[in-house]
Every structure is written in C-alpha cells, then in structure tokens.
Amino acid sequence: MRTKKRFAQHWLSNDKIIADIIEAAELSHDSLQSEAIANSRVLEIGPGTGILTRQLLPKAQSVVAVEIDRDLCKKLVKKLGQIENFLLLQGDILSLDLDSLLARAPAIFQQPNKVVANIPYNITGPILEKLLGKISMPAAVPYDLIVLMVQKEVGDRLYASPGSRAFGALSVRVQYLASCELICDVPANCFYPKPKVDSAVVRLRPRPIERPADDPRKLEQLVKLGFSSKRKMLHNNLKGLKERDRLTQILEQLDINPQARAEDLGVAQWVALSNALA
C-alpha cells in the first residue's frame, strides 16, 4: 500500500515484533486469558493497515483505534468494521477530545486502561505528554500501562539511568511519572518502507509519585534549566536562579557534588533539590 510522507507512515511487518508488543501489553498469558481479556480495554494509536489491530482484538475486551489518515480508516472499516469490540475514530490523537467521544460510545469502549502505539517519531514528545501528563500536571486518570514504538535514540533516553550519556530532561520528566523498560530493539528492516533509523518498543507503567515535589512547577523549570547545556556543570546551568548565592551550600547539604552535571542526578535528587530551593 502506498504511504503518505506527511504522516511519516512505515508499516511494521515482523510477526515476532508484533508478538512481543502483544506480550508487553500483557494480553498473552494463556492461563489467565479470560481475566486478561476482561481487564484489557486498549487504545491503539496509529493502527495503520490493521496488522497489529487484528492481533489485539481477540485478546482484549475492546480496542479503540485512532487513525489520522482518512483513506486508511476506510480500509480499516472494510476489514474490521463488523467486529463488535472494535471502535475506529478518525482524527489526530493530539487534538481529539477522546474522553468526550468515548463517553458517548458503548460502555466497553469507555476508559481504556492500556495503550499500544506505533506513532510518527516527530510527535513522540507531545504523545507522551498526552498520555502521561507532565510533572506539573500528571494525567488525571493514568493508564495501567503504555507500550510505545519509538525511535531507538528516544527509547534509550526514556529508560536511561542517571550518569549515562542518554539520561536527560526527558528521562527525568517521564521517570517522575512512570517506570520505563525496554521490551525489544526493532531494526529498520522490520518496516515497509524501511525508515532511516532503528526503533525500540518500550513499556511505561504510570505510578503514584513516591516523593512528589513540593512545587511541581518549580521542579519542571529546574529540570529544563539544569539540562539547558549538558556539557556544563550543574551549578553553572543554574546560575540564573534567584537562589544562586546559596546553591553550592544546598548541593552539599543534599550530598550532591557541586561539580556534577545534570545527567548525574537521579529523579529523587532532582525532587530533593527542587524542594530545597522552593
């Protein structure tokens, strides 16, 4: 099928990767199959040709698929439109008022609790914010889990550990709100047409914030400022703070090396620093 460049379309064509995604969404435990189905209402973002959707439908109570391409929607309706636990919405996931649309749908489609998404890589950040919220405003009703196909470089940043080169502002923002793990790497040749970059499947589990920041907006601003120049030491990046005169003292009180760089601090340390500066 011909792809449309404006939608950055690449079709996943590897059965093993599809199986890994299904398992990552916890839809394939045979001994608990009936329970898994009853507890799985899936939101699929970017169903494309429906190759993954076909595998999701028998394993979930319902699948709500959101597709931006009108032509693909017509084909999906022909292929899957008669299946009772399938609902297709045409539109841009970033602008759709999903809650309002699903409130008018049959009950089995309301309040999806799992997300499976193969999204254009240029909107990964906005998609993550749509699904997780942000530090200053977490999602009101978080999903149980989110399985995303992302550019490998972004995947590396999502689950990176403090001190690693990949650890950055995105790592802190996401890990403040959710745990993240790598499911599998996906070489470019697993897609048609073949993209220029490799991909990765990651799983996010939104969770209650163990040690919330006293002022989440302050933390959000602090992380942005701290990572504004990764090559500089943290205290240099934070010179713009009004508390800069006591910054070195605060870092020492928190047992943070004043010579540290932003990527050396874990999420809990960022929260502690934000609270100390509040």
Rounded to whole angstroms, how far apart are CA atoms 35 and 30? 10
Final residue belonging to a domain, choices 206, 228, 259: 206
Q: Which of 57, 1, 73, 2 is nearest to 25 (CA)?
A: 57
CATH code of the domain in which 254 resides: 1.10.8.100
On average, the pLDDT of the chain sits at 91
Final residue belonging to a domain, choices 206, 225, 260: 206
Q: Are residues 176 and 137 in the same domain?
A: yes
Tell whether 200 is covered by a domain.
yes
Q: Are residues 196 and 271 in the same domain?
A: no
pLDDT for 209 equals 87
183-194 confidence digits (pLDDT tens): 999 999 999 888
CATH code of the domain in which 199 resides: 3.40.50.150
Q: Are residues 19 and 69 in the same domain?
A: yes
- Count of residues for the chain? 278
Strand pairing category for 114-118 and 86-90: unpaired
Q: Are residues 199 and 242 in the same domain?
A: no
Tell whether 19 is covered by a domain.
yes
Phi, psi of 270 (to 5 degrees): -60, -40
Whole-angstrom CA distances from 32 to 102, 197, 242, 260 are 27, 37, 55, 48
Tell whether 211 is covered by a domain.
no
Q: Are residues 100 and 69 in the same domain?
A: yes
The pTM of the full predicted model, rounded to 2 decimals, is: 0.91
**Structural domain range at position 87:** 5-206
87-143 confidence digits (pLDDT tens): 999 999 999 999 999 999 999 999 999 999 988 888 999 999 999 999 999 998 889
Q: E strands along the chain, which residues?
A: 11-12, 41-45, 62-67, 86-90, 114-118, 133-134, 137-138, 145-151, 178-186, 191-192, 199-206
Q: How many domains does the chain have?
A: 2
44-60 confidence digits (pLDDT tens): 999 999 999 999 999 99
Q: Are residues 263 and 168 in the same domain?
A: no
Q: Are residues 93 and 231 in the same domain?
A: no
Final residue belonging to a domain, choices 179, 206, 233: 206
Question: Long-range contacts for 26-33 (Cβ within 8 Å, ≥24 apart)?
Answer: 26/114, 26/145, 27/56, 27/59, 27/60, 27/114, 28/59, 33/59
Q: Are residues 130 and 251 in the same domain?
A: no
Tell whether 228 is covered by a domain.
yes
Q: Are residues 161 and 256 in the same domain?
A: no
Tell whether 236 is covered by a domain.
yes
Q: Are residues 182 and 248 in the same domain?
A: no
